[in-house]
Amino acid sequence: MAAPSHRRSLRSRRVLVVTAAAVAAGVGAGVIVMNASAGTVDLYHQTLAAKDGWASSGTGTTGGAKADAAHTFTVSTRAELVKALGSATDTTPRIIKVKGTIDANTDDAGKKLTCADYAAGTGYALSSYLKAYDPAVYGRSKLPSGAQEKARAAARTKQAKNIVFKVPANTSVVGVPGTSAGITGGMLQIQNVDNVIVRNLSFSATEDCFPQWDPTDGDDGNWNSDYDSVTLRGATHVWADHNSFTDAPHLDSANPRYYGREYQIHDGALDITKSSDLVTVSRNRFTDHDKTMLIGSSDSEPAGKLRVSLHHNVWKGIVQRAPLTRVGQVHIYNNYYDVTTLDGYATQYSINSRAKAQVVAEDNYWKVPAGGKVAKLLSGDGTGAVKGAGNLVNGTVTDVVAAYNAAASKKLKTTVNWTPTLTAGLETSAKDLPTTLATTTGAGVLK
Q: Could you give the residue numbers annotated as active site? A: 321
Distances from the Cα of 9 to the Cα of 65, 151, 279, 309, angstroms: 23, 52, 22, 19
> Is 100 exposed, middle or buried, given 0-12, 13-18 or 19+ CB atoms closer than 10 A?
middle
Q: Choose among 270, 386, 260: nearest CA to 318.
A: 270
DSSP E strand boundaries for 285-368: 285-291, 294-295, 308-311, 314-320, 324-326, 329-333, 336-338, 351-354, 358-362, 365-367
H/E element, 115: helix 115-119
User: Measured between alpha carbons, how far is 338 from 314 in angstroms, rounded to an integer?
Assistant: 8
Amino acid at 122: T
Cα torsion for 429, 431, 432, 437, to the nearest 10°? 90
Q: Is 63 left (phi over 0), alpha (psi -120 to 50) or beta?
A: left
User: Are the CB atoms for 270 and 227 separated by under 8 Å?
Assistant: no
Residue 232, beta-bridge partner list? 190, 272
Q: Choose among 411, 415, 357, 336: nearest CA to 379.
A: 411
Q: Choose among 60, 48, 105: nearest CA to 78.
A: 105
User: Are the CB atoms for 339 and 371 separated by under 8 Å?
Assistant: no
Rg over alpha carbons for the chain, rounded to the nearest Å, is: 22
User: Are the CB atoms for 119 and 209 separated by under 8 Å?
Assistant: yes
User: Are the CB atoms for 182 and 223 separated by under 8 Å?
Assistant: no
User: Measured between alpha carbons, how far is 303 from 328 in angstroms, rounded to an integer?
Assistant: 7
Q: Please report, in angstroms and rounded to a whole number, the separation of the first and last CA atoms in the chain.
A: 18
Amino acid at 17: V
